[in-house]
Amino acid sequence: MAFQSIFYSYYQREINYAFLLLDEIEDARDIGQLTFLQFWQLAKYSHIDSFTGYIRRMTHTNCLRTLKERASFKSNQAEYLRNSPAYEKASFDQAPELKAAIEKAIDSLRPSHRMAFQLYYIQNMRQKDGAEMMGVTTQNFKNYIHLAVANLRTQLSSFFDL
């Protein structure tokens, strides 16, 4: 009963705060869910002096972790592409504009969509493992992949008969 009251009091406020830090509503909702899942797992709340401060610190920490993962992922993105079997098979010597368009299209994806796409298609990771690595549900991971592919199809439609 106490958790439910705290949840309804703070949930939307924490999503709004996460959105300010992350600039993506999907990630902000994921952070909100993660924060309250972690809070639920505490089981005892007697040691907490201020719920507002405690929950805000959890949200802030989860946002910082997400931003750190984004930065790490972005820095390794080119390496992921270069080492992928699909990249080696494609002959970009004859079509440098296609290579540039693919890289631009992948770079333009939302970070969560790009990460899911690369984990699943380029790193050949299972959906369950990718979801675990990203800290989201398997269904969210599948949604990210679907949205990434749809976006890439739209952006690259001039090169292919899609």
**pLDDT value at position 146?**
92
Q: Residue 45: is its pLDDT beyond 90? A: no
Cα–Cα dist 110/22, whole Å? 11
Cα–Cα dist 17/31, whole Å? 10
Q: Shortest CA distance to 27 belongs to which of 89, 69, 55?
A: 69
pLDDT tens per residue across span 139-157: 999 999 999 999 998 888 8
Task: Name the token pair of 84.
Answer: 């992928």
**pLDDT value at position 77?**
62
Task: Please write down the HEC assignment for all residues of 47-114.
Answer: CCCCHHHHHHHHHHHHHHHHHHHHHHHHHHHHHHHHHCHHHHHCCCCCCHHHHHHHHHHHHHCCHHHH
**pLDDT value at position 161?**
60
Q: Residue 122: is its pLDDT beyond 90? A: no
pLDDT tens per residue across span 18-31: 988 888 888 889 99
- Statement: the pTM of the whole predicted model exceeds 0.85: no
**pLDDT value at position 148?**
92
